[in-house]
């Protein structure tokens, strides 16, 4: 038993914010941002929410998979920026798309969220609990960003990406002889280093506490430490996944990585000794959308026809937690 992705979808806010726009807010420049991150512009919400973006992405994934909302068994939303603590975003998405039969819940692994959700769906489907699942990574990070902090406000964007996955019982062989579906997964966490990328929720305050601790409600990041973590851990976990699947780097057609920084992606390619042309990127147009980056890029590459049946993909993410992981699958 394995799972196959049979539909993808994405949704982005309409407003485009360029590096030149940010020059009006903080001391920075287009050249400075592009040289350090590879980002030229990003999408920023002017009213779109985590749930509405997620719902639009889900509808497009269902349309591609030729499924109706009534057929969905499970909805998983990966997000670290929901508008509401209760109800969870997945239940809001369930209502918006009319998937009345589906079980729904959220999970938060920050930028690794979509990957962790995919692996969670794999566990549910592989054991036969459910037959299919909608997996979504959706974020409106613009509300968590301090727009006077040039170290973080230049990085993040808003958006959502989704994938519809189905259990695959029999062997589906592609033209190149590869079996379609998930081949291997690997994920991990390092909570001891979690402070290098954080964002506080509301502090403890109740009738039995005389003074409440006040904190910073915006994303805080030690960029150098995050860079060091990513450039070391991502190639290591990709290699771990490939070793488990008894595959080599050369057996992979596409490396679909979390879009955090062009320099990180280039470093990962170099450490793996893989051609950078096998690493799709859209960070220059959308920035870092946390859990949404992998599924949005996957949808773009899929709809453009660049991913072919039988292609082997590695999906890999890293983020706050600290969390990291990699999945290997055949399209």
Catalytic residue numbers read 111, 258, 288
DSSP codes, 245-291:
TT--GGG-SEEEE--S-HHHHHHHHHHHT--GGGS---HHHH-B-GG
Q: Contact 286/160 with Cβ under 8 angstroms? A: no
Residues 6 or more apart whose CB falls under 8 angstroms from that of 184 comprise: 241, 242, 244, 245, 247, 327, 328
Q: Which of 283, 292, 287, 314 is nearest to 77 (CA)?
A: 292
Q: Contact 139/160 with Cβ under 8 angstroms? A: yes
Q: Contact 162/43 with Cβ under 8 angstroms? A: no
Cα 28 to Cα 189: distance, rounded to the nearest angstrom: 33
Cα 251 to Cα 94: distance, rounded to the nearest angstrom: 38
């Amino acid at each position: 038993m394995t799972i196959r992705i049979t539909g993808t979808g994405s949704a982005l806010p309409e407003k485009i914010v360029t590096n030149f726009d940010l020059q009006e807010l903080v001391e920075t420049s287009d050249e400075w941002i592009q040289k350090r991150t590879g980002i030229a512009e990003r999408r920023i919400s002017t009213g779109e929410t985590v749930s509405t973006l997620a719902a639009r992405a889900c509808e497009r994934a269902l349309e591609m998979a030729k499924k109706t909302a009534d057929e969905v068994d499970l909805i998983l939303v990966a997000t670290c920026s929901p508008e509401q603590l209760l109800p969870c975003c997945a239940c809001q998405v369930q209502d918006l798309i009319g998937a009345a039969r589906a079980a729904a819940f959220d999970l938060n692994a920050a930028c690794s969220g979509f990957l962790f959700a995919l692996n969670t769906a794999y566990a549910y489907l592989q054991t036969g609990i459910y037959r299919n699942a909608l997996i979504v990574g959706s974020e409106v990070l613009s509300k968590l960003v301090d727009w006077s902090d040039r170290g973080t406000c230049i990085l993040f964007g808003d958006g959502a990406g989704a994938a519809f996955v189905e259990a695959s019982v029999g062997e589906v062989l592609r033209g190149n002889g590869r079996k379609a579906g998930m081949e291997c997964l690997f994920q991990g966490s390092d909570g001891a280093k979690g402070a290098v990328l954080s964002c506080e929720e509301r502090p403890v305050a109740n009738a039995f506490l005389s003074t409440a601790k006040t904190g910073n409600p915006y994303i805080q990041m030690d960029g150098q430490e995050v860079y060091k973590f990513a450039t070391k851990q991502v190639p290591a976990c990709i290699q771990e996944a490939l070793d488990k699947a008894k595959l080599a780097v050369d057996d992979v057609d596409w490396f679909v990585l979390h879009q955090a920084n062009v320099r990180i992606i280039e470093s990962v390619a170099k450490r793996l000794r893989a051609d950078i042309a096998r690493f799709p990127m859209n960070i220059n147009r959308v920035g870092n959308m946390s859990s949404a980056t992998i599924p949005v890029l996957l949808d773009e590459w899929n709809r453009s026809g660049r991913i072919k049946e039988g292609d082997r993909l590695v999906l890999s993410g890293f983020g706050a937690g600290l969390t990291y992981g990699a999945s290997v699958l055949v399209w």
